[in-house]
Amino acid sequence: MTEQGGRGDVPRGSDHRDDGPVPPDTARTRLVIVDDDALVRAGLRLMLDGAHGIEVVGEAADGVEVTAVLDAHPTDVVLMDLRMPRVDGIEATRRVRARRDAPAVVVLTTFDTDEEVVGALHAGASGYLLKDMPPERIVAAVRAAATGEPVLSPEIARRLMTSVADAGGQRERARAALDALTGRERDVAVELGRGATNADIAARLFLSVPTVKAHVSSVLLKLGLENRTQVALLVHAAGLD
């Protein structure tokens, strides 16, 4: 099923390419675009390919095609539509994240129902963006996802926080899960809940960045979670953010 709005779903200003110089010491981010609308894919490629170190290495029209594309092209980030024929974006995200060489997945859609947002994040997506975001925000989100940072549209972040706040019964379960962490790991998890980067956490907790990375890996392992976004949701649910 094509996203509502057809041609209007190409992010506004898709010819915008002035995203500043690529840092000389930064590797290119290899991106695959998955959307059933060929015009949307073309618009995203025009906007993203070459922007701030991003290289579009492939495209797919649905969740079936993306498997072959990833087999053929090493990929850092997949930009994933949700409502597509054959295999939808949530199931495709689950399959992508189950790969041995799993890239990050960022959902880019016009739909923002609670079911779809939560479903995508639980499937392993590290970000959820709406197609009306400014081009520079989408570019920044792709770059952030490649480094393991969570990326959410402001509207989605607010809705998730409201949803979690309304689900009082989840608080005790979330806190019980976090009890499995050491004190330092818990501190790191709380910072993840605030959207902090590894560098932010290192500065706030007086740790080195490699130490922060080790703590983040340990937090994910102990909690049985896929990514930092899921940790942030758990922290929100526990009311610790």
Fill in the DSSP letter of residue 131: T
> What is the reported pLDDT for 187?
93
> What is the reported pLDDT for 25?
39
Q: Pick from 160, 178, 209: which residue ends a domain?
A: 160
CB 160, CB 233: distance < 8 Å: yes
Residues 97 and 214 both lie in one domain: no
Q: Which of 24-38, 68-82, 152-166, 178-192 has the lowest mean pLDDT?
A: 152-166
Q: Which residue has the tokens 């758990």?
A: 234
Which comes out higher in pLDDT, residue 182 or 1? Answer: 182
Determine, yes or no, domain membership for 1: no
Q: Please give the tally of structural domains in the chain.
A: 2
Q: What is the pLDDT of residues 91-131, one digit of tens each?
A: 999 999 999 989 999 999 888 777 788 888 888 898 889 88
Q: What is the pLDDT of residues 145-183, one digit of tens each?
A: 998 887 877 777 766 666 655 555 577 778 888 888 999
Residues 64 and 182 both lie in one domain: no
Tell me which residue range forms the domain holding 36. Answer: 6-160
Residues 152 and 177 both lie in one domain: no
Determine, yes or no, domain membership for 99: yes
Whole-number percent of the chain with pLDDT over 70 = 83
CA 50 to chain centre: 20
Report the distance separating Cα 127 and Cα 149, nearest Å: 9
The CATH number given to whatever domain includes residue 78 is 3.40.50.2300
Query: Contacts for 182-185 with beta carbons within 8 Å, 24 or more apart?
Result: 184/215, 185/215, 185/218, 185/219, 185/222
pLDDT, average across residues 30-54: 93
Report the distance separating Cα 35 and Cα 233, nearest Å: 26
Residues 17 and 101 both lie in one domain: yes
Q: Which of 6-20, 114-128, 222-236 has the lowest mean pLDDT?
A: 6-20
Residues 153 and 227 both lie in one domain: no
Q: Pick from 132, 160, 188: which residue ends a domain?
A: 160
CB 62, CB 34: distance < 8 Å: yes
Report the distance separating Cα 147 and Cα 135, nearest Å: 19
Determine, yes or no, domain membership for 117: yes
Nearest to 31 by CA among 157, 151, 150, 141: 141
Residues 190 and 115 both lie in one domain: no
**pTM for the complete prediction?**
0.64
- Which residues are within 8 A (CB) of 105 and not within 5 positions of it... i.e. 6 or more apart? 77, 78, 80, 93, 96, 97, 123, 124, 125, 126, 127, 145
Residues 232 and 192 both lie in one domain: yes
> What is the reported pLDDT for 151?
82
Determine, yes or no, domain membership for 223: yes
Instruction: Strand 29-34: give its sheet, edge to edge.
Output: 54-60, 29-34, 77-80, 104-109, 127-130, 151-152
Alpha carbon distances (Å) from 190 to 25, 66, 151: 30, 34, 17
Determine, yes or no, domain membership for 186: yes
Q: Pick from 160, 187, 216: which residue ends a domain?
A: 160
Q: Which residue has the tokens 């932010």?
A: 200
Q: Which amino acid is at 23?
A: P
Nearest to 185 by CA among 122, 234, 125: 234
Determine, yes or no, domain membership for 85: yes
Report the distance separating Cα 18 and Cα 205, nearest Å: 35
CB 106, CB 127: distance < 8 Å: yes
Kindly tell me if the per-residue pLDDT of 17 is higher than 70: no
The CATH number given to whatever domain includes residue 198 is 1.10.10.10
Determine, yes or no, domain membership for 61: yes
Kindly tell me if the per-residue pLDDT of 61 is higher than 50: yes
Residues 70 and 142 both lie in one domain: yes
> What is the reported pLDDT for 201?
92
Report the distance separating Cα 241 and Cα 11, nearest Å: 32
Residues 113 and 28 both lie in one domain: yes
Residues 185 and 153 both lie in one domain: no
Residues 144 and 200 both lie in one domain: no
Residues 181 and 197 both lie in one domain: yes
> What is the reported pLDDT for 162?
60
